[in-house]
Every structure is written in structure tokens, then in C-alpha cells.
Amino acid sequence: MDAPPEISLDEENILAEQSAEEDHHWIRRVKLGNVRAFDFLIRKYQRRLYSVVYNMIANKVDAADLTQEILVKAFRGIHTFKGESHFYTWLYRIALNTTFSFIKKSKKTSHYSLENWDDAEVQANILSHSNDLEMGDRATLLKELQEKLNEALQKLSLNHRTVVVLFEIEGMSHTEIAQMLHCSEGTVRSRLHYAKEQLKQLLKDYLKDYEA
Amino acid sequence: MKPKKLNFSLEELLHLKRCEMPREEFWEAFEEQLHRKLALEIRRKRSFSWTNVLDILYKKWVHWFPLATCLCVFGFVVYAQCFRVEKLSSRFVVVTEDVICHQALKQFVLSVDQQLSSVPVRNLVSGSQKMVAMDTCKRFSF
């Protein structure tokens, strides 16, 4: 299969601008009273929001509830969105604040409930990184790896976990993260560095050539 | 048991987490539930309640609250100052009137005293009238 064509930085910027314009168009319609227009925004962002929340709390049931709560909050407050920043920055800020308060509230009662990880992409990835393993071993390893990875992420502090989730898993830039968290880019970079060091230490048995 | 070492880098391992997503069936149920919650929210928005009104008033006036507080404090201070001056001046007026209208006051107190002395003792049930008369005489010491 052919690899997808690479997108240059300029093209990426153009796409981002188009996406922002599209968002503003739908937001204007919602503000004018067209409730159905919010559906477009829901479909566009629900998966990304779910992913952030899920990776922050490692519980799929709570993540679904929280994502819904975030979208309802966004709908309630859409009239206060002035368009000074990107809509997704605003939305992610609501998501992070809601998730933070949830984590603080349920600190002592947290438990994991993980998503299925038997996706073809993961299978292929694991296969390419563990040629000498049999099928049965691979499935066990897959489960173990997922658990360890989530456990390691949950061991990070809230600030460090947020930066890792947004940068490494969601693929956001340092600037975007800094805007969302109201801190400098330097702070984001240093948090990311520290968090990665901690993760490497926690996952050293699964990583190649890692020496503490 | 020590796990078998893999050839992953940390970044590759974290990228794997992008695949941890629910299946398509989940999203149908999710959207349905979300629409129900949004419908409730819309109904809540449209229905009238005092909490809504208070909420709106609060949202509208919350920015004016510090200014209003300052104005109230300032008003109170100004009022307190005026009241104090008025009180002082009224005391002064009383004193001057006391001097000026000494004769008239003396006559008034005497007439009250006469009236009180003409009332039979059994009628002074509370005794307050007598006390007033006595007090007046003592204070002015005619």
C-alpha cells in the first residue's frame, strides 16, 4: 500500500485556517439559534476530546461521560466564545478543566477500564517490533504493554501527564499547548522532557537501548 | 517475570495509544445519549425559573459589583461624616436654645409639675410620669 502523501507546513496552515473558518461559520449559526449546527462541531471534535479525556484518566466509561459533559458545557457557553482564539483551543480548555476537576474529585477511587487495543495497526506495529514472538505471546505482550503504558501515564503528575497526552498522543504543537495551559513554551518543553524521563524509567523493560 | 525487551522507542510506544479508540457502534450510542443531554439543556434554557433569572442578573452585574461596592462604601463614609456634623450642630443648637429659651422652658416644666402634682397618687400606675417630672426638676434644678 502507498504511504499517504506528505503535507508541507504551508499546506497544513492553510488547512488549519480553512478548518477554523468552517468552525466560525457553524458557531455563528449556533449563536443565531440553529441548534442543529452544533452537531457539526460535535462530530468534528468528539473523538479528539474523548481521546484526550481517556488518556488522562484511563477509564473508558468515565471518559465517555466526561466528553458528553464537556460538549454540553461548550453548548451552554458558546455565546461567550468571542473567536479570539481557535475554537478547538477553547474547547480543549473546557475539556482539560473538566477533567482536572474530575481527577481531583475521584483521586482515591480511580480504577482503569481500558479500550480494546486489538486494532490492526497495533498488531502490525507490535509484529514489526517483535519478530521473534509467537501469536499467543504477542497477545499477552499486547495486553501487558497496554496496562503498563497506562499505569505509567497515570503515575505522572497532572501537569506532566497533560503535556505528554497533548504533545505525543494528540500531536499538538508546543505553542498550542502553552496557549491551552496558560504557560510559556519553555515550561511546556521542560515538563515534556521531565515527563519523558520519568516514563522511560517506568517503561525501561519495554524500550530499546534505554539506560537510566 | 521480566518482560521480553521490544524495539520500541518511547515516542513509538506513546503513538500506539492513538489506536486505543472505541469502535463505531460506540459512537452511535454516544451521540444518542449526548443529544438527549443537549435536549434537556435546551429545555432548561427555555424554561423560566428564579434561579435562571438570578443567574442572568448575576452574570450581567458581576462586573459592576466592585464599582457598586466602592460607591456604597464611599456613600456610607460621606453620610457618616454629614451625620456627625449634624449631630454636633444639633447639640450646639440645643445648648443655645437652652440658654435662649430658658424662661419658656422653665414655665413649661413648672406647668408639667403642677399637672403631675394635681394627679392623685393612685393614678400614677407606672410611676413613669412622676419620674419624668422628678427627673426634669433635678436636671434643670430650678
Q: What CA–CA distance (Å, rounded) separates B101 from B109?
A: 12
Note whether A51 contacts B21, CB cutoff 8 Å: yes
Note whether A68 contacts B33, CB cutoff 8 Å: yes
Which residue is closest to B24 within chain A, CA to CA? A47
Q: What CA–CA distance (Å, rounded) separates A4 from B19?
A: 18
Give mean pLDDT in consecutive 10-residue pieces for chain B, a chain of 142 residues.
65 83 88 91 74 71 81 88 60 50 73 72 52 54 48
Handedness of CA B120, B125, B126, B127 (dihedral sign): positive
Task: Encode pLDDT of A154-178 as tens digits.
Answer: 999 999 999 999 999 999 999 999 9
Whole-number pLDDT of residue B93: 47
Q: A67: closest CA among A83, A79, A51, A80?
A: A51
Q: What CA–CA distance (Å, rounded) separates B100 from B108?
A: 14
Which residue is closest to B15 within chain A, CA to CA? A169
Q: Of A138 and B98, which is predicted with more confidence?
A: A138
- State the helix-helix crossing angle for B102-118 and B128-140, rounded to 10 degrees: 150
Here the ipTM equals: 0.77
Note whether B5 contacts A205, CB cutoff 8 Å: yes
Sequence-distant (6+) residues with CB within 8 A of A202 are A148, A151, A152, A155
| Burial degree of B91 (CB within 10 A; 0-12, 13-18, 19+) | exposed
A2 pLDDT higher than 50: no
Confidence class for position A121, pLDDT limits 50, 70, 90? low
Copy the grid coordinates of residue A73.
458545557
Cell 499486547, residue located: A142
The Cα of B89 is separated from the nearest Cα of chain A by a number of Å equal to: 55
